[in-house]
Amino acid sequence: MSEKIPKGWKWVKLGEVVIINPNEFLKKGIIAKKVPMEALLPFTKKIQFFIFEKYNGGVKFKNGDTLVARITPSLENGKTVYVDLLDGDEIGFGSTEFIVLREKSGITDKQFIYYFAISSDFRDIAIKSMTGSSGRQRVQNEVVKEFEFLLPPLHEQKAIAEVLSSLDDKIDLLHRQNKTLEEMAMTLFRKWFIDPTRGGLPDGWEEVSLGELIEISSGKSIEKGKLKEKGLYPVLGANGEIGRIDDWLYEGELIYTGRVGTLGNVFIVFKNEKVWLTDNTLVIKSKKNEYFYFVYFTLNNAKLDEYNSGSTQPLIRQSDIKKIEIFLPKINFLKDFEVISRNLFTKIQFNISQIQTLEKLRDTLLPKLMNGEIRVKY
């Protein structure tokens, strides 16, 4: 933190300048929008989805509020989000494992509060304050209320939030472009390889098991203490990145999916990437280059979550995936699809690189803007 307090900034307690868990009215038994914890991706500003459920208690919120997970490991994993999915004055709700932060009129800015909530100063204090039994530790609301920090004047809060929001908007646009590009490839996959088989096996095609096209293995667990928030290489679990590490286990090109816990999501590791895949994943490599994107979209289309064979938690076995029966088209179809898909995914990979650059810039600027080391013209 800069030694000199910037002009107009002042030390405050969070509970003095932010409304914590506002007391909105929501009648018990009414069907309302609920945000489950799994709808929050790490350090992503937008809620991914909501569900409709009867309200029988929990925290309540409206658009412009910030939701902060208060339970381990959700807080450590960056489960903090800015609410923007409700209609008008609609009230939503979530479990008591969330803390809701709302601006005070004329004192704080709603988007500034979100960026404050993902800042390392706040997160570090919140994480250190957790109490409770192992695996169910929670941030205490009183600690949040008493948290002291330097608050800029309102107009500077808005300027800081605008700079950071502009970066997040560019990141969101690139994510949406990638989603569109992948949807284009999936549409082509279904048109070429699913629709023609609805009436049976087309001439020249073969009925095979997926195991004939792939090699499959499980990832590897990480030694205690090696997983960190910042490291050289991503650690990938059943639902994507869960942290970083200074060592790597796999170098692309490969496909992976969840083995235990979260089932059904399918991801790609590109050729120039080095990653660690945990033992919660299944690692899949195609036996021929022409099969790679065909295998990827076959797995995406296979509804892997329906192959659950676990008794106490969701589980899918290597043998379950190997036994999936598919119609294998003529090699010229596979080669043409591979070329088109690679062109689309080259653009996706470029966008991912741009996203990472923008995220690094945002994450570098955020603490410097929050402590006044870098000032914004307004």
Reported as a single tens digit per residue, the pLDDT across 282-327 is: 999 999 989 999 999 999 999 999 999 887 889 999 999 999 999 9
Q: Domain range holding 55?
A: 10-151
pTM: 0.85
Residue ending a domain, choose from 308, 328, 348: 328
Domain match, 318 and 231 both: yes
For residue 315, the SS3 value is: strand
Question: What pLDDT does 369 receive?
Answer: 95
Domain match, 142 and 242 both: no
Supply the mean pLDDT for the chain.
Answer: 91
pLDDT at 135 over 80: no
Contact 365, 163 (CB under 8 A): yes
* Alpha carbon distance 184, 188 (integer Å): 6
For residue 206, the SS3 value is: strand
Q: Does the residue 244 lie in any domain?
A: yes
Domain match, 34 and 132 both: yes
Q: Does the residue 86 lie in any domain?
A: yes
CATH code, domain with 71: 3.90.220.20
Question: Of 205, 200, 196, 178, which Cα lies nearest the Cα of 344?
Answer: 178
Q: How confident is the model at residue 38 (pLDDT cuts 50, 70, 90)?
A: confident
Q: Does the residue 69 lie in any domain?
A: yes
* Alpha carbon distance 61, 70 (integer Å): 16
As for how many domains the chain has, the answer is 2
Residue ending a domain, choose from 283, 304, 328: 328
Domain match, 222 and 299 both: yes
Cα torsion angle, 92, 175, 303, 191, sign: positive
Q: Does the residue 288 lie in any domain?
A: yes
Domain match, 140 and 224 both: no
Question: What pLDDT does 1 receive?
Answer: 44
Residues 265-283: pLDDT tens digits? 999 999 889 999 999 999 9
> Which residue would you say has higher pLDDT here, 78 or 118?
118
The mean pLDDT of 110-136, rounded to a whole number, is 87
Domain match, 18 and 114 both: yes
Q: Does the residue 302 lie in any domain?
A: yes
The mean pLDDT of 24-37, rounded to a whole number, is 91
Domain match, 141 and 213 both: no
pLDDT at 134 over 90: no
Q: Does the residue 295 lie in any domain?
A: yes
Residue ending a domain, choose from 328, 347, 363: 328
Q: Does the residue 268 lie in any domain?
A: yes
Question: What pLDDT does 187 receive?
Answer: 98
Question: What pLDDT does 128 receive?
Answer: 84
The alpha carbon of residue 119 and the mean position of all alpha carbons in its chain are separated, in whole angstroms, by 17
User: What spatial distance separates the first Cα and last Cα of the chain, rounded to whole Å?
Assistant: 22
